């Protein structure tokens, strides 16, 4: 029953090829050695065969291929079924969320050293459902997967929570669902986080150049482009 959806024209084309393939060597023999006495004699599907020359070659090859027809057609069918199954599985494969972290240093201007990330991001830093995560310290990317069916049943936002340690606190990850990228099934997000500060006054630190300062060159005349939400 799985074969019902197969294109019948495709099968007809394959059958036509089975008839045509023996023609090539038969034609070759006819051209090269027309007088050669190649003899084919026997029974085929209730018919008595008695042929010579290139016709005999054609009949022998045709019989040989014909006996394998059902195997070839079954192979075609199963490959088509397999292809359909793969397409169906691709349609339902989970979505991959890639969350690129950027943790800022105490001065809120510079990013922390790459080697320090392990202090703040732990394997259980992200809470989502289902909870399948991987944190790559080199790329600073947290990866997790969400089943297609679960994602479809969710609202506009994917609920996830990021737990950072040692002064970076917790945040709800705002992952707005944008499901146009159905082929790659990949949602990329960037997040910038600042380290928590005490209530101490910073003016001395600024004048002693312990804290960096933003000025007009570090600003935009329009609001910054939002990359924390999939574009």
Instruction: Decide if 112 contacts 101 (C-beta within 8 A).
Output: no
CB of 203 vs other proteins, minimal distance in Å? 6
Stretch that binds other proteins, among 27-35, 57-65, 115-123, 188-196 (CB under 8 A): 188-196
Beta carbons of 60 and 113 less than 8 angstroms apart: no
Report in angstroms how near the CB of residue 10 gets to other proteins at its nearest. 44
Decide whether 1 or 203 has the Cβ nearer to other proteins. 203
User: Residues 172, 179, 182, 210: which binds other proteins (CB under 8 A)?
Assistant: 172
Size of the site for other proteins (CB under 8 A): 53
Residue 60 or 126: the one with the smaller Cβ distance to other proteins is 126
Closest CA to 2 of 82, 68, 103: 82
Burial letters 132-158, b for 16+ CB under 10 A, else e:
ebebeeeebbbbbbbebeebeeeeeeb
Single residue of 156, 183, 184, 231 touching other proteins by CB under 8 A: 156
Residues 6 or more apart in contact with residue 106 via CB below 8 angstroms: 195, 197, 211
**Smaller CB separation from other proteins, 25 or 174:** 174
Q: Is 68 in the site for other proteins (CB under 8 A)?
A: no
Burial of 189 (0-12, 13-18, 19+ CB in 10 A): buried
- The torsion angles phi and psi of 127, rounded to 5 degrees, stand at -115, 120
Query: By CB under 8 A, what part of segment 73-112 binds other proteins?
Result: 102, 107-109
Q: Exactly one of 6, 11, 167, 188 binds other proteins (CB under 8 A); which one?
A: 167
* By the rule CB under 8 A, 153 interacts with other proteins: no
Give CA–CA dist 56/37, Å, rounded. 9
8 A C-beta contact, residue 22 and residue 65:
yes
Q: Which of 175, 195, 198, 199 is nearest to 187 (CA)?
A: 175
- Per CB under 8 A, the list member of 170, 179, 181, 210 interacting with other proteins is 170
Residues of this chain that bind other proteins (CB under 8 A): 102, 107-109, 127, 129, 156, 159-161, 164, 167-174, 176, 190-199, 201-203, 206-207, 211-216, 218-229
């Amino acid at each position: 029953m799985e074969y019902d959806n197969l294109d019948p024209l495709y099968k007809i084309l394959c059958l036509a090829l089975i008839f045509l393939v023996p023609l090539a060597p038969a034609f070759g023999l006819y051209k090269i050695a027309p007088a050669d006495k190649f003899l084919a004699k026997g029974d085929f599907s209730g018919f008595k065969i008695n042929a010579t020359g290139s016709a005999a070659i054609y009949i022998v090859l045709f019989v040989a291929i014909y006996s394998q027809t059902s195997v070839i057609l079954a192979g075609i069918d199963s490959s088509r079924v397999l292809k359909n199954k793969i397409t169906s599985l691709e349609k339902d494969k989970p979505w991959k969320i890639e969350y690129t972290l950027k943790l800022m240093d105490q001065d809120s201007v510079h990013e922390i050293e790459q080697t320090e990330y392990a202090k703040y991001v732990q394997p259980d830093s992200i809470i989502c459902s289902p909870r399948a995560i991987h944190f790559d310290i080199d790329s600073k990317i947290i990866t997790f997967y969400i089943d297609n069916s679960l994602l479809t049943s969710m609202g506009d936002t994917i609920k996830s929570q990021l737990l950072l340690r040692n002064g970076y606190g917790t945040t709800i990850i705002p992952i707005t669902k944008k499901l146009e990228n159905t082929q790659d099934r990949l949602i990329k997000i960037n997040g910038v986080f600042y380290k928590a500060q005490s209530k101490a006054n910073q003016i001395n630190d600024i004048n002693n150049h312990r804290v960096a300062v933003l000025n007009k060159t570090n600003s935009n005349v329009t609001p910054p482009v939002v990359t924390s939400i999939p574009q």
